[in-house]
Structure 1
Amino acid sequence: MDGGATPPAVDAATPEAAAFLLVGLLAGAHCLGMCGPLVSVYADRLSKQDGTNALTLRQVRQHGLFNLGRAVSYAFIGGLFALAGTLFFGAFDSVTAVGSGVRATTGLLVGTAIILTGIGYLVGRSAAIDRLTPDVVTRLFGRISGWATARVDTLVGGPRILGLGAIHGLLPCPIIYPAYLYAFATGAPLRAAALLGLLGLGTIPTLFLYGTLLGQVSARRRATLHRALGAAFLVLGYISLSHGLMLLGIHVPHLHIPFYQPLG
């Protein structure tokens, strides 16, 4: 984007990775709206299978596997979105000016979408954001969730609970949509997979505590976390937006994070 030595890859990725982890940590309370009912169901089944309401080592293991399945699912799908970005941008690389314009436009669009999402959470309009999911998608994945809930007894007791967690990477979620868009804009599958994996790992503390100890998060606390989540999305959106502006020759303060670069 500008002159000077390229910073080390680890240093370049640190602000980006921290932002994704922060989004995950703050998004955990939001995830309860989607994952909470299923978590309650399988937590109840685990307790009945163990014949006790006390938390057992087996239950801790199963909750851990469930959440690991979610994180792996996010990472895999994020990598697929980034691979799609690689193919999309690569189609324009033969014409340098066109390729740069496409990457700049993508950065601007993705950054704007993520920033608008962040503003929605900041001003308490998260319910409106939830409604952005098309009805046909909601119905489709509602069936997937219903299928999983109906078979929860056969899935919770062993390693197959990983699959129960992995299903959540496919369920409609306004937290994950911006992250998948960001992954597409990077055009770097391995990096995107790592970032989405971090986001998934970040959601684990809240869902784990919900399934084992808490049982609920107050509406007031959830609203506070949503506002903080909005601020985190503003950071991610600005990273993408500033990248697009820099490609257009508009110099703005930015982080040295490598987005998609053509081969050669």
Structure 2
Amino acid sequence: MIGLLGSVHCIGMCGGIVSALSIAPGTRKVFPVALAGGSGIAAPTAVHADVMHVIAYNAGRIGSYAMAGAVAGGIAQGVRGLSVMPSLQLGTYWLANLMLIALGLYLMDAWHGLTRLEAAGRFVWRRVQPLTARLLPMDNSRKALALGALWGWLPCGMVYSVLLTAMLSGSALDGALVMAAFGLGTLPMVASMGMLGMRLQGWLRRRRVRVASGLVILAFGIAGLARAGSGFTADWLEEVCVSPLSSHASDRTEQ
């Protein structure tokens, strides 16, 4: 849900590069021409190439998210035996939900504190970005796959907020699954941008769309904080909140 609703943020972070797939050599304006009712419908081979480029780009991007989730979950798994782990998990749980609240406010244009966090992550991107020049122009699926994998490390507050949730999963595998689920949530929006280009971006920039998406993500964060404040006892919140491992451990101890 966070990936799907938060992906309205992707129009600024990934919209330009994904839309560029629609004008790559050999696939020039395939989908925009067809959807605009133009007389020059592209050949099936060009359409197939365009779709494959978009799929490859997103496969690389989601793969990078899963890799980051595996690292985050693996860190928690590695320190699980430490005596400070329950307190660390609880603190991370509070922070993860505060990040969701910040993301919701950011999408609503009510507060832009996440941009500072994104700025802090740019030192990684400065080392990755030069590699993208070697992948241009994106005229085949291999380049699109590699560029998507690199783009997955672009500083993004939305990704950082979900990475904290991946860390709460407590294992490298579960962390990878959390981030893969997040990436799949962003897939409909990002893939559609690659196929529809600027037409979809104009709709996503509408304030009511961003406010509605932000409110839902804000509600997730508030629900998580409510659960943290009540000692993780609200069973209905299990449906929308990831539980720290410490709460599960205490449940098993009581049983």
TM range (shorter): 0.7 to 0.9
Q: How does 1:212-227 map to 2 (within 5 A)?
A: 212-216=195-199, 217-218=201-202, 221-227=205-211
Give unmatched runs, 5+ long, in structure 2: 31-41
Deviation by residue 1:74-131 (Cα, 9 ceiling, x = unmatched):
1221121111122233322xxxxx5433332332233223223323434x23644323
* Cα pair 2:79 2:85 within 8 Å, conserved: no
Are 2:244 and 1:259 aligned?
Answer: yes
Separation of aligned partners in 1, 2:169 and 2:176: 11
In the comparison of the two structures, how many residue pairs are matched? 231
* Cα pair 2:23 2:29 within 8 Å, conserved: no
* Cα pair 1:188 1:260 within 8 Å, conserved: no
**Cross-structure match for 1:17:** none
Q: CA deviation at 1:175?
A: 1.2
Separation of aligned partners in 2, 1:186 and 1:143: 29
Separation of aligned partners in 1, 2:66 and 2:235: 29
**Cross-structure match for 2:180:** 197
**Normalization by structure 1: what TM-score?**
0.72
Identity across aligned pairs (percent)? 26
Separation of aligned partners in 1, 2:55 and 2:26: 17
Are 2:80 and 1:89 aligned?
Answer: yes
Separation of aligned partners in 1, 2:228 and 2:70: 21
Deviation by residue 1:9-41 (Cα, 9 ceiling, x = unmatched):
xxxxxxxxxxxxx22222333112111222233
* Cα pair 2:105 2:218 within 8 Å, conserved: yes
**Cross-structure match for 1:9:** none
Are 2:142 and 1:159 aligned?
Answer: yes
* Cα pair 2:61 2:151 within 8 Å, conserved: yes
Measured on the aligned residues, the alpha-carbon RMSD in Å equals 3.1
* Cα pair 1:83 1:189 within 8 Å, conserved: yes
Higher relative contact order (CA 8 A, sep 6+): 1
Separation of aligned partners in 2, 1:63 and 1:36: 12
Residues 117 and 221 of structure 1: is their aligned pair in 2 closer, same or farther, counting only changes over 3 Å? closer
Are 2:134 and 1:134 aligned?
Answer: no
